[in-house]
Amino acid sequence: MSFLSIHETFQETIQGEGYWLGIPCDFIRLYGCPVGCSWCDTGYADGGSNIPAERVEIADLIAELKSDRVVISGGEPFFQPNLKLLTEMILTTDRKVAIETSGSCWQRLSSEVWITLSPKEHLNPKFPVISEFWQRTNEVKIVISDGTEPYFYQQYLRENCPLFLQPEWGDRDRTIPLTLKLLRAFPHARLSPQLHKYLHVP
């Protein structure tokens, strides 16, 4: 039997961020992330010691799916050794698979898996982006808190790879204007507004 550590799952919602904004999907939120972003909206800012976790058989996760697209997030999905098996099993059901990652741990997955790289190296240099991700990723999503973030990664950003700048939600009255200004400095970037939070859906 193949298990994964799960924080939560929810079905029949939408992707609220990035390239697939507004597309119906299910979410599998895997457990655990050591990066420690201060604004983490999943609860891992303090290491996640108070976040419930459950070991779930992959086949049971597949049985729960209702949408044609599945987003695997965390935590940090690439820290889980059975991530590849999970993606392969989802793909056999003719669903699309996307993964959101900080890029600090590498596994080679099918080219059919959409990867969203949301780097956090500027927040915690102990977890740098593994170099393979900059070529493998399908989109880059950078959370904007003080405005320096896209400049930190500027040497890696490719114009043929979609770039999304996402205002940090907890201080959005300040970070939205800041992000709009950055869009002028990075003309190939687009705004990622976290639509699900405005719509009050999971």
Total residues belonging to the chain: 202
Q: Give the separation between CA 166 and CA 182, rounded to whole angstroms.
A: 11
Question: What are the angstrom distances between the C-alpha of 101 and each of 116, 138, 139, 182?
Answer: 6, 12, 11, 23
pLDDT tens for each residue of 92-106 = 999 999 999 999 999
**159 class by beta-carbon count within 10 Å (0-12 exposed, 13-18 middle, 19+ buried):** exposed
Q: Give the separation between CA 12 and CA 202, rounded to whole angstroms.
A: 9
Name the fold adopted by 3-199: TIM Barrel (3.20.20)
In this prediction, residues 120-128 reach a mean pLDDT of 93
**Distance of alpha carbon 15 from the chain centroid:** 11
> Does residue 31 contact residue 5 with C-beta atoms inside 8 Å?
yes
Domain boundaries, the chain: 3-199
Neighbouring C-beta atoms of residue 127, cutoff 10 Å: 19
> Does residue 165 contact residue 145 with C-beta atoms inside 8 Å?
no
In this prediction, residues 193-202 reach a mean pLDDT of 94
Q: Give the separation between CA 118 and CA 121, rounded to whole angstroms.
A: 10
∠ Cα 32 131 115 (to 5°): 55
pLDDT tens for each residue of 11-45 = 999 999 999 999 999 999 998 877 777 666 666 55
For the whole model, what pTM was predicted?
0.93
Tokens, residue 167: 């205002």
pLDDT tens for each residue of 70-86 = 999 988 999 999 999 99
Strands ordered across the beta sheet of 163-167: 54-57, 3-14, 24-30, 69-73, 96-101, 114-117, 139-144, 163-167, 189-191
> Does residue 104 contact residue 120 with C-beta atoms inside 8 Å?
yes
